[in-house]
Amino acid sequence: MKYWRVPLDIDTVQIPHGVVHIDIDLCKGCAFCEEYCPRDVLAMSDAFNRKGYHYPEVVKSGECVNCGLCEAICPEFAIFCTEGEPGPAAAWAVQPGEEAP
Amino acid sequence: MNVTEQPFSQSLEIPSTEESLKHPMEDYLRIERFPHIWCATCGLGTVLTAFITGLQKSELDPDKVSVVSGIGCTGRSAGYLRLDSFHSTHGRAVPFATGLALGNPELKVAVISGDGDLIAIGGNHFIHTARRNIDMTVICVNNFNYAMTGGQAGPTTPLTANASTAPYGCYEYPFNLPYLAESSGAVYVARWTALHIRRLANAICEALLKPGFSFIEVICPCSTLYARRNRLGSGLDLMKHYHDQAIIRHGADTSELQIDFQKEIIVGKFVDIEKPTFARKRDDYLSERLGKDYVPYKGP
């Protein structure tokens, strides 16, 4: 994701970062987390868990902003986020010469 | 022969989560009972998460909160919560909670139960508890059918929806639950879906802190019976339907909140009024009538 317009104070802004933890044995493969993750961090894996369900996997771990939506919507208590190291927002800025999204 | 039992997950070399971390809600859950019995893509686990989040937000002492459930899929909620919880008989969650609330006025009592338990067999208890304005929070999870017993048509099944006792579609008029609660005398009435997780958690927090009879209807996907019988896909498809069709209208007239089959669902907070609770009304009235002869009940 890139900013469409670069804010003037972008150097001072820190973006929170989350680390997603998944208990794959509790998962029943409903895909609520994958569908509603606002940053598309998760994807359903091709592998099965012990009950035969496809479980979610973290595919874009750098994109997670620790919003906690996956934790709140998971009906199985199988996924949660912990706070990671916040990163500078400047990394999201459109670089000179790059086309704005 | 001595065979050492190897866990199934190890034998297949399936990775599992790191042991040291625990789920942030584990303190509120009887985690040894998990995984729970609810079907894949059922929304009841999400409602339970919202309840725990609401309870955490309300900053009530968990030792002073009690949860009562009746029978049915939703009735399992009380058993999964690490609070003083009780799984009562069919339809009698509300009378049991009445006894708890009146016997120990310090206790905050919440009832989490389904539409079949609260409104069908427990309908009479529900309206009279709302009329008396007993201090409790009732969370009615509405999945439009009797899910645990095989998807029979219930008092909330929308017109034309298929159920196992209505194979050509339901032809009975369903209840409009917020209207029923408001006209019976509830002081707080809201309706949300299992998709409105944050608003639902906020509503549960508000309802827990509200003195008097507060009622929240939660529309919840039933994937195995309601969705399958009506060919609506999975619970995820029902969640998408809520996303498309739910309209937030705070303070809407509750008489217009009828839910038609796969049509728009009006959600929001409809009623939030102040009214003395049963216990306060009793104490005030009897103190006035009897004077010093009346000794108010202070709890055990």
Question: Quick one: average pLDDT of B41-53?
Answer: 94
A75/B24 touch (CB, cutoff 8 Å), yes or no: no
CA distance B83 to B67: 7
The token pair that represents B203 in the structure block: 């509503």
Specify the residue for token string 């620790």: A66
ipTM: 0.87
B5 — pLDDT class (breaks 50, 70, 90):
low
From the list B17, B25, B42, which residue is nearest A21 (CB)? B17
User: Higher-confidence residue: A7 or B39?
Assistant: B39
In a domain, B25, yes or no: no
Residue B72 CA from chain centroid, whole number:
11
In a domain, A92, yes or no: no
Residues of B in contact with A55 (CB under 8 A): none
Provide the pLDDT for residue A1: 63
In a domain, B117, yes or no: yes
Q: Dump pLDDT digits (tens) for B241-257.
A: 999 999 999 999 999 99
Q: Give the orientation angle of helix B197-209 with respect to helix B44-58, to 10 degrees.
A: 50
Instruction: Report yes or no: B102 and B134 within 8 Å, Cβ to Cβ.
Output: yes
Residues of A in contact with B13 (CB under 8 A): none
How many other CB atoms are there within 10 angstroms of residue B121's CB atom?
A: 18
A23 to chain B: closest CA residue: B17
In a domain, B167, yes or no: yes
Question: Quick one: average pLDDT of B104-121?
Answer: 94
Q: Chain A: which residues have CB within 8 Å of chain B?
A: 21-26, 28-32, 35, 47, 49-51, 53, 69, 71-77, 80, 82
Residues of B in contact with A72 (CB under 8 A): 46, 49-50, 53, 197-198, 201
In a domain, A40, yes or no: yes
CA distance B291 to B300: 23
Q: How many domains does chain B have?
A: 1
CATH number at residue B115: 3.40.50.970
CA distance B244 to B10: 43
B69 forms bridges with which residues in the sheet?
B87
CA distance B81 to B74: 12
Q: Does B53 touch chain A (CB under 8 A)?
A: yes
Q: Is the pLDDT of residue B57 over 60?
A: yes
* pLDDT, mean over chain A: 87
CA distance B146 to B153: 7
Provide the pLDDT for residue B238: 94
Cα-Cα-Cα-Cα dihedral of B46, A70, A54, B5, to 10°? -80
* pLDDT, mean over chain B: 91
- The residue range of the domain holding A51 is 20-62+69-77
Q: Is the pLDDT of residue B8 over 80?
A: no
In a domain, B246, yes or no: yes
In a 3-state reduction of DSSP, which class is residue B132? helix
Question: Quick one: average pLDDT of B181-198?
Answer: 95
Q: How many domains does chain A have?
A: 1
B300 — pLDDT class (breaks 50, 70, 90):
confident
B35 to chain A: closest CA residue: A26
Instruction: Report yes or no: A55 and A44 within 8 Å, Cβ to Cβ.
Output: yes
From the list A22, A32, A71, which residue is nearest B239 (CB)? A32
Residues of B in contact with A73 (CB under 8 A): 46, 49, 195, 197
Provide the pLDDT for residue A63: 87
In a domain, B289, yes or no: yes
Q: Does B20 touch chain A (CB under 8 A)?
A: no
Mean pLDDT by 10 residues, chain A (101 residues): 75 89 92 92 93 92 90 93 85 69 61
Q: Is the pLDDT of residue B208 over 90?
A: yes
Q: Is the pLDDT of residue B217 over 90?
A: yes
Q: Is the pLDDT of residue B7 over 80?
A: no
B48 to chain A: closest CA residue: A75
In a domain, A87, yes or no: no
- The residue range of the domain holding B214 is 35-293
CA distance B184 to B128: 7
Provide the pLDDT for residue B299: 82
B9 — pLDDT class (breaks 50, 70, 90):
very low
B49/A71 touch (CB, cutoff 8 Å), yes or no: yes
Question: Quick one: average pLDDT of B146-170?
Answer: 94
User: From the candidates B8, B14, B28, B200, which should be mutated to test the interface with A, based on the most A CB atoms within 10 A?
Assistant: B14
Residues of A in contact with B227 (CB under 8 A): none
CA distance B163 to A20: 39
Q: Dump pLDDT digits (tens) for B253-262.
A: 999 999 999 8
B14 — pLDDT class (breaks 50, 70, 90):
very low
In a domain, A35, yes or no: yes
Provide the pLDDT for residue A61: 83
